[in-house]
Amino acid sequence: MSLDLFSPVTLGSVALNNRMVMAPLTRNRAAEGGVPQAMNVTYYEQRASAGLIITEATPISPMAHGYPALPGIYTEAQIAGWRKVTDAVHAKGGKIVIQLWHVGRISHPSLLPNAALPVAPSAIKPKGQAFTYQGLVDYVTPRALETSELPAIVQDYVHASHAAMTAGFDGVEIHAANGYLLDQFLRDGTNQRQDQYGGSVENRARLLLEVTQAVVDAIGADKVGVRLSPVNPFNDMRDSQPQYTFDYVTQVLNPFGLAYLHVVEGGIHGGGEAEPFDFGAMRKLYKGAYMANLSYDKARANAAIANGHADCVAFGVPFIANPDLVERFAQNAPLNVADSSTFYGGSEHGYIDYPTLA
């Protein structure tokens, strides 16, 4: 029997009813103090028929923030807010993991404690503008992290992982993609360090591997996924040898026995043209469950699962506009069109008021 989107699958310790994953989607609708609120509970609960929900990227510390109205996962109030989300999703038979985030240089002093400079592997200012409470403002030149500061960042991931378990999540996803801190270390366009965290690909991958090891030690490999985006140019990112870099990263993640590897297969968010990359070759190097992500529709996703390229497929914008996307795919029903003007910030409109088939 051939597999498809509606076949069950187990990722690590998480048994999914189907292989349709709700991708992490930043929506900028948390309450004061980065606390998830009632409409956030409704939003995730509405989408609980997904085989797995990956939450919006969630800062692991006050210094990890880079946008307004983000939920966090480091205070007691935030944990309590997320607990309402996980309880609601589980009550509907769903599974949910939280994406752990440190934005690195993609921030602004107005978003950080004591108007601190954003931190990064190297003091390289990104092109573009930060989205702040005052509107769009130019990015600043970040401060290069001292080698001695990195263990504390690793511990922030551990603290957030323990917090996620307390909040009732089924697991965590380490966000090492899309131009944020761990990705900034991985790619040589943003990492020009001279210490053991810069230079060779072995050194550039060191922080990701230390974070992964620490999180695995804290909560178990069967509850941990990692997200990569080898050629996404978003956030002014590039690497001189992306295939070499990310084939290496894929291979060194194998021994952890992770729940899954989640790969953005190209460029997203209008960051420009993505470099050529052989995702099929990278996938063959990975021994565990592989989650594919980028512009998949039902037919492409079913083909990727049937031919063994992917174990599951993550959908982003379709889940924003279609809380019942699984049912719509099952019935070959038409899809609601997403209103991009309501993606980031705002009210319940464009968030929890998309109609379902029922």
Domains with residue ranges and CATH for the chain: 9-342 (3.20.20.70)
Model pLDDT for residues 31-83, shown as the tens digit of each residue: 999 999 999 999 999 999 999 999 999 999 999 999 999 999 999 999 999 99
The crossing angle, in degrees rounded to 10, of helices 206-219 and 242-253 is 20
For the segment 205-219, the average pLDDT, to the nearest whole number, is 99
What confidence score (pLDDT) does residue 270 get?
A: 66
What confidence score (pLDDT) does residue 267 get?
A: 85
Catalytic residues: 180
Model pLDDT for residues 140-198, shown as the tens digit of each residue: 999 999 999 999 999 999 999 999 999 999 999 999 999 999 999 999 999 999 999 99
The confidence band for 268, taking pLDDT boundaries of 50, 70 and 90, is confident
> CA 20 to CA 7: how far, in whole Å?
9
Amino acid in the structure at residue 14: V
More confident residue, 231 or 268: 231
Cβ atoms of residues 305 and 311 within 8 Å: yes
Q: Tell me the whole-structure pTM to 2 decimals.
A: 0.98
What confidence score (pLDDT) does residue 273 get?
A: 74
Model pLDDT for residues 314-354, shown as the tens digit of each residue: 999 999 999 999 999 999 999 999 999 999 999 999 999 99
